[in-house]
Chain A
């Protein structure tokens, strides 16, 4: 099967090939969904927001200038911000994704490690991080997810969120500091440190 670049697929879509757009969806759905689920903390809402973002991307595709992926992720992030704003007006949804409910996607982890203890610790760490992410302000959460989970550079984050690099730096620092405090309070950071040292030896 021929593997097309994003730009080639975009061109095919503009020429009327809707299947090509679904190929783009397949390619980027994981990244888009993961940003939404970490931002919103709700699996179903995240899937809805991600899908709406794809529809919006299709609608505005003729105006696309530049690369598809950062443009799409900007639409996804805007969708998440809109939902968070409306949630603030009607606060009802919990941000604690990694709750003790076996049906949540967070529990579908591919837990790898040296044994049940490591897996348990990793699971506990992930739950704490998910809870901590819900406890930090939306703008800081967005930046730390994009940087540490999605692996984007400061420039890419600035382009995506429409803020300058200095603001990216300060938001990221505040988010990390807050997260560090929460991990230390949960006594997970020293354990992580010991674990890292052990794994290095």
Chain B
């Protein structure tokens, strides 16, 4: 004989999940067993099922107008992401980017690799040490005059350059790949 018990929110959530087939098999079996002995649970399940059936009678409405978009409007909607995947001039920008970042790397690399001993200038400083220049001896440039030589800044420049080089090379490769895919 069926008895009526109070239904908790958790019970209702489980009934709802059972209705959608989203309850685990073990929990579904347990709940079905409870429904066999609990009339309130069974009624609640039936009403939920009927509510869902009612929802499913809702018709699919047709849009009042076509939602197609004018190509001109689409073109205007393009943002920077579009520029990245299809830059104007095709490979021009990525190629320039690769070339510039390569120069960047070489420049900073050359400075960073320079031995400290050679970071001097013969006779470059005329004042305040003219006697030293006359003696034809290398003049050490003040530390603040050669901030890049062998300093962490030069290495940072190299690392940044390599990063930019990698990024632009990858960008160029992606555009090339997309073009190849389109041709196929």
A interface vs B, CB < 8 Å?
11, 14-16, 18-19, 21-22, 25-26, 29-30, 32-34, 37-38, 43-44, 46-47, 50-51, 54-56, 58-63, 105-106, 108-110, 122, 125-126, 129-130, 144, 147-149, 153-154, 169-170, 172-173, 176-177, 179-180, 183-184, 188-189, 192-193, 196
Contacts and interface: CB of A to CB of B under 8 A. Distances in A.
Interface of B: 9, 12-13, 15-17, 20, 22, 46-48, 50-69, 71, 73-75, 77-79, 81-82, 84-86, 178, 181-182
Contacts of A18: 71, 74-75
A154 B22 contact: yes
Given A51-B69, A170-B13, A59 B58 contact: no
Nearest to A122: B57
A144 B52 CA distance: 9
Contact of B53 (A38, A63, A192): A192
B1 to A, nearest CB: 23
B63 A50 contact: yes
Nearest first, the 7 A-B pairs at minimum CB distance are A148-B55, A62-B81, A18-B71, A33-B63, A29-B67, A173-B16, A173-B13
A12 B46 CA distance: 48
Contact of A108 (B51, B55, B62, B67): B62
B17 A58 contact: no
B47 A189 contact: yes
A181 to B, nearest CB: 10
A55 B85 contact: no
Q: Is the interface of A mostly helix, strand, loop or mixed?
A: helix
Given A169-B17, A192-B50, A25 B58 contact: no
A193 B9 CA distance: 23
A58 B77 contact: yes
Given A50-B63, A55-B74, A125 B178 contact: no
A26 B66 CA distance: 8
A196 B52 CA distance: 12
B20 A173 contact: no
22 contacts: A30-B60, A33-B61, A47-B64, A55-B74, A61-B81, A61-B82, A62-B84, A109-B59, A110-B59, A126-B59, A129-B57, A129-B58, A130-B58, A148-B55, A148-B56, A154-B17, A154-B20, A172-B16, A172-B20, A173-B13, A177-B12, A180-B48
